[in-house]
Amino acid sequence: MTTPKPGRNDGAEAPSRRELLAAAAGAAAALIIPATAAISATAPETGLVLHRGWVLRADDLPRLKRA
Amino acid sequence: MILDSEARTDDWFAGKVFDVCVIGSGPAGATIAHRLGARGFKVALCEAGGLLLTPDSQDLYEGTSTGAPQYYDLTACRLRYFGGSSNHWGGWTRPLDAYDFEPKAHNPLSGWPIDRTALDIYAGEADAILNLPLDTAPADFFDNHPPELIPRLFRFSRPTTRFGELYKDDFDKSANVTVYLNANLVDMRLGDSLQAVNEAVFQSYEKPGRFSVRARAFALCLGGLENPRFLLNANSQISAGIGNENDLVGRYFLEHAHAPLGRVVVRQPLTRMICYAPSPEFMNEKQILNFGLRIGSFDQWNRPDFTGALDPEPACTIDFDTLLKAEMAGEKAACPAMVGDAFVACEQTLNPDNRVTLTDTRDRFGLREMNLNWTLSETDRRTLKTAATELAKRMAEADVGRMRVLPWLINDEMPNKDQVYGGNHHMGTTRMSGDPKSGVVDADCKVHSLANLYVGGSSVFATSGHANPTYSITQLALRLGDHLTTVLRA
């Protein structure tokens, strides 16, 4: 017999969703590395760079290093 | 009046013909029944569960799912008792966008046979039913927001409307609406010409035997998964099932693909959750579908009392660069007004293989259980990825903040169930179309092939947009109530 699970719909507050969000947040934290790591250029014409998933302005990393 | 069909006697239905038999008491069914009862029509509102949740009823939602990402447990993503799934509704609302009703070349079969103005006239009534605050300008953190991203407003039903609670007293006192609890729909019997429904056939849990409710019109409002499941099961006179002449019942299942996109750090404190949707031009240029970006805080917007306002506590005076550097190093800054989450809910492609089918397992009433197949298309994945990268790009360009995009979105990987999941929004399975070859119901929510069978709820959505569906379900129910009023008075 199934035990009906209380929860909310709209993808909000359902117990399974809370678990999913916690898992996603954990995975994201684990993948972030220090700002000194390599920079990969993404769209040079926009002046933006992709740094380990962070979409940054070209002057962000030098400035952050000094901060 | 509210009656328990377990206590029925032979004279309850003998010789009686209701004006309308509404089946299902969720947002659609309860709204239709209430509207028609208030106008003097005799309505039978048949609910499969009781006033409270019971395992006997909920177990009848058992089924299987296939596809990827894996879908939710089908017994947990909806509720089978008086008031239906509104009993665990989160209260998020917004109407569909006007351009959701228009066809898009990159989403074959898209487009509705009505436009948004057909629903707009019910906005005031829907607002009142759903306890919504006034419609105000949406928050926007761009001084001049890019034309690609349009600010959008979500309004929250607070206290959240539970349709059973809302209408119970009115139904109890009503001389026109009779609620029959524990009435499980097991069949519909058509007239000899198979062009109209004569009676709906029910069973209760304990009392043996079946009973029939006769009416001039019938409104099937069982939810986006059970509407097709019932129609496919109703094969006692038509082997393919009722309304399924063109093999469309159960097909084109739509969800909103929900995905966390990554962390954000902003320059100015956020006081409200911020939402953006793509412009029609941008969707066409990128060959993507609609999406709703949300920027704020998971922890806050998942609260059941969330109203859109963000709590800035604990207050924080840390400067932007320090916060950004800390986030980039994986340190969680306790500065909720300036460090948060980006999230998206996306429209899905119309895919005939995303569908409800019947399995060989039968429930206690002999109806076959369902299998739900749910997958993401290339367009769906492109929409998710574009939503994430566009927001991150625009934030950095305008220097309003920075965003980290999760790796699967950058690397074009197939997402798993921890990365993309549904919103418990079940739509599209008896879709609306002006052409019976591309939809199950017509513009009036009437099953194309039958004179008096109507469908209520999100299964009639022709496309889903990104908006949570309850607002549009309510508008469509009010509209169907008006249509039935006209038909029954003719």
> Residue A40's Cα: distance from chain center in Å?
17
| A31 interfacial to chain B (CB closer than 8 Å) | yes
Tell me which DSSP letter residue B89 carries: -
A20 contacts B421? CB cut-off 8 A: yes
Q: Which of B344, B290, B345 is nearest to B465 (CA)?
A: B290
Output the pLDDT for position A14. 44
Q: CA of B363: how far to CAs of B180, B237, B328, B385, in Å?
A: 21, 20, 52, 40
pLDDT for res B489: 98
CA distance B258 to B186: 34
The distance of B41 to chain A (nearest Cα, Å) reads: 32
A3 — pLDDT class (breaks 50, 70, 90): very low
CA distance to partner chain B, nearest, from residue A14 (Å): 8
Taking an 8 Å cut-off on Cβ atoms, the answer to whether B302 and A63 are in contact is no
Nearest to B396 among A9, A57, A63 (CB): A57
Half-sphere exposure of A37 (CA within 13 A, CB side): 14
Rounded to the nearest 10°, the torsion over CA B289, B294, B295, B298 is: -130
| Among chain B residues, CA nearest to A47 | B397
The residue of chain A nearest to residue B404, with distances taken between CA atoms, is A54
B406: which chain A residues are within 8 Å (Cβ-Cβ)?
24, 27-28, 53
Residue A5: closest C-alpha in chain B: B76
Question: B299 falls in which pLDDT band (50, 70, 90)?
Answer: confident
What is the interface pTM, i.e. ipTM, of the complex?
A: 0.90
- B102 — pLDDT class (breaks 50, 70, 90): very high
Share of chain A above pLDDT 90, in %: 25
